[in-house]
A and B are shown apart, each in its own frame.
Chain A
């Protein structure tokens, strides 16, 4: 018989502050103590509600008075300029990859799809480098993650499965996309190689086929499918990424 779980351990479980052993012990305990399990689930919901209510503050521009003391008032303008820079870099990469891509973009795809790819590649580059905070909500709470992101995007979404390719879901996060919410899922294989999937509401009505962009070894396939625009980003080669994109597309279609 293992000793009973303490209140402090239950709280630490909610806050993901336990090591793997302790977490496993708490999970065993919760499996046999539904009241505690309910309590822990409620506490986790509280955390998510708080973040839902107040995370948008993080994306607000910093009032200039707050940086006035630093003698570098420009800081509040840093973010937009960084974003423009990232966009410019991707645009250059697209241009460099060949005129055909651009032609496809302008004629077949429109600005929306290209934006999705830009933002998805930026998000990928930032978050795949993270060890401890790669995701906001981990895959062990997948149901909660999907429900939360669906709610924020205002439309039911799914976390596509890439298990057939050996990538398991790590988790996901909410991201701002031009002031609107977007979902970001991360996957990892046995070697620790990561793929990300970026999803946002489709703001144009038409659907499109898969499109490909690549920038310094990071590639993306992106497409628009009824309600959502998607981008799959990773360092796989073009064929490998295309295969993964098709699997996601099929997986999402079958879940609909």
Chain B
């Protein structure tokens, strides 16, 4: 094989090409995206990674069921979505009430230090949205899924996805608009 010796050496060092299936490879490529989505969905990074872990375990388990007619990404996000829905259903809808200070101390979003204040406000606002609106906003806006793919992942018709997206974004806008400029709460 006319391969560059440097490449060859690096490959043997890392064991590339030794029985790694294409399917597994495709799953691994999606892990950063699954983690990003789960982090935004749950905010708690440990819980998010646990969810991704469950999703991957299930995916590797059922890999033989996956058919290349669909995309691996949609398949994985569907598994993750269903796991999340089941978990929240089991837990019941515990209303999470936290003060803003607690939010900042206990719920570090990724790279809190250099995340802009606006971005942080938005992340806080997102938490006030119903789960199904938040999912769609994140699948479409953060992960760049098409409306059809987001519909497949959430198991809802495209029209429903569109209205969740539209209502969710408008609600976020209202929350952001009512946010005071200073950390002080406006007294009505």
Contact = CB atoms under 8 A, between A and B. Distances in A.
B133 to A, nearest CB: 12
Nearest to A6: B162
B40 interface: yes
Interface string A142-183: 000000000110100000000000000000000000000100
Contact of A52 (B15, B28, B116, B126): B116
Contacts of B32: 57-60, 62
B28 to A, nearest CB: 5
Contacts of B14: 74, 77-78, 81
B164 to A, nearest CB: 10
B6 A53 contact: no
B141 A47 contact: yes
Contact of B166 (A11, A55, A81): A11
Nearest to B121: A49
Nearest to A136: B144
Chain A contact patch, size range: 35 or more
Contact of B111 (A14, A56, A66, A89): A56
Contact of B146 (A17, A47, A66, A70): A17
A99 interface: no
Interface string B84-128: 000000000000000000000000011100111011111100100
Interface in B14-41: 14-16, 18-20, 24, 27-28, 31-33, 35-36, 39-40
A60 B181 CA distance: 32
Given A54-B36, A54-B142, A70 B176 contact: no
B153 interface: no
A16 to B, nearest CB: 9
A50 B142 contact: yes
A125 interface: no
Contact of A70 (B60, B116, B172): B60
B122 A53 contact: yes
B166 A7 contact: yes
Interface residues of B, number: 54
A122 to B, nearest CB: 15
Interface in B131-161: 137-138, 140-142, 146-147
B47 interface: no
A77 B14 CA distance: 8
A85 interface: yes
Interface string A40-84: 001101110111111111111011011101111011011001001
A58 B49 CA distance: 13
B162 A49 contact: no
A42 B173 contact: yes
A39 interface: yes
B169 interface: yes
B31 A52 contact: no
B176 A42 contact: yes
Given A15-B141, A72-B24, A78-B16, 7 more contacts: A46-B122, A47-B142, A53-B122, A54-B142, A71-B24, A81-B14, A152-B114
Closest 4 CB pairs of A and B: A49-B119, A57-B36, A49-B122, A69-B60
Interface of B: 6-7, 10, 13-16, 18-20, 24, 27-28, 31-33, 35-36, 39-40, 49, 52-53, 56-57, 60, 109-111, 114-116, 118-123, 126, 137-138, 140-142, 146-147, 162, 165-166, 169-170, 172-173, 176
